[in-house]
Copies of this chain bind each other. A is one copy, B any other.
């Protein structure tokens, strides 16, 4: 018969752990890594306007609320969010969004939350504005069919600086310029385009 307890010598303490206990601890580490990777793919998806990838990263009922200095995103559901990404990460912008410093908390087997430190650089070549700044994301994640998804994401800007682009910079590579939507042709959600950076 198996004794469920083995004396673990860690820390000199009398810590007893079962295989089942340890499996739960490993599961938490796996979940944290999976959620980091999820958010990492999310940043790749938005800056590349990769809507097919984004479709796999958020829940059907995802809630989004971003409050910037001169914009606000409040979106409900995957379709609305993906449309907003496609429209705003268009061929006339250069987008760089980096998420640093994840603080991930696993609540239970299917729910988790996370804080991230956003730093972004955003060139709107149509509006001739460069926006840079930071924010702290407060996210909720949900495991659906074995995969972690972003269930809600919100931030209020920490700092934001908007600078007019006086001279168009020497852009030697521009992925979205080639692969992003053409605004007038493909983007019919004018309100969203106007309301966001």
Which residues of A pack against B, CB within 8 Å? 2-4, 6-12, 15, 17-20, 22-27, 29-30, 32-33, 37, 39-41, 43-44, 47-48, 68-70, 94, 96, 98-104, 109-110, 115, 117, 119, 133-134, 136, 156-163, 169-176
Contact = CB atoms under 8 A, between A and B. Distances in A.
A90 to B, nearest CB: 14
A29 B134 CA distance: 29
B96 A44 contact: no
Contacts of A43: 100-101, 117
A102 B40 contact: yes
Given A6-B20, A9-B20, A94-B159, 14 more contacts: A10-B20, A11-B109, A19-B19, A22-B26, A40-B103, A40-B117, A68-B173, A70-B172, A98-B101, A157-B172, A157-B173, A159-B175, A160-B172, A160-B173
A133 B122 CA distance: 11
Q: Which of A19, A24, A103, A115 has the most chain B CB atoms closer than 10 A to its own CB?
A: A19
Contact of A8 (B19, B171, B174): B19
A98 B115 contact: no
Nearest to A18: B6
Nearest to A11: B109
Contacts of A7: 20
